[in-house]
């Protein structure tokens, strides 16, 4: 489990780690998936819901 008690500034890495990628294929495949999946989610539930879902996924992926 992630320990944020030593340095509370590490909270920002929970979100910024979602923007780091290994290589160009990784970021391209993520962008294509986000384009098709995100378009439908944003159209059905709205852009605010899509942003919240993305941030929750980014933070959840960083913790686990």
Count of domains in the chain? 1
**2 lies in some domain:** no
Rounded alpha-carbon distances, angstroms, from residue 17 to 28, 31, 36, 41, 45: 16, 15, 22, 23, 25
9 has pLDDT over 90: no
Cβ atoms of 59 and 10 closer than 8 Å: no
Instruction: Look up the domain containing 25 and give its range.
Output: 8-62
Bigger pLDDT: 8 or 55?
55
**31 lies in some domain:** yes
**27 lies in some domain:** yes
Sign of CA dihedral 8, 9, 14, 20: negative
Give the model confidence (pLDDT) of 18-32 as tens digits: 777 778 898 898 889
Q: How many CA atoms lie within 13 A of 34 on its CB side?
A: 16
Residue 48: which pLDDT band, with cuts at 50, 70 and 90?
very high
Sign of CA dihedral 24, 26, 30, 32: positive
11 has pLDDT over 80: no
């Amino acid at each position: 489990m992630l320990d944020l008690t030593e340095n509370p500034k590490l909270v920002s890495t929970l979100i910024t780690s979602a923007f780091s990628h290994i290589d160009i294929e990784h970021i391209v495949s993520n962008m294509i998936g986000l384009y098709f999946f995100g378009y439908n989610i944003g159209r059905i539930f709205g852009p605010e819901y899509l942003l919240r879902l993305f941030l929750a996924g980014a933070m959840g992926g960083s913790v686990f």
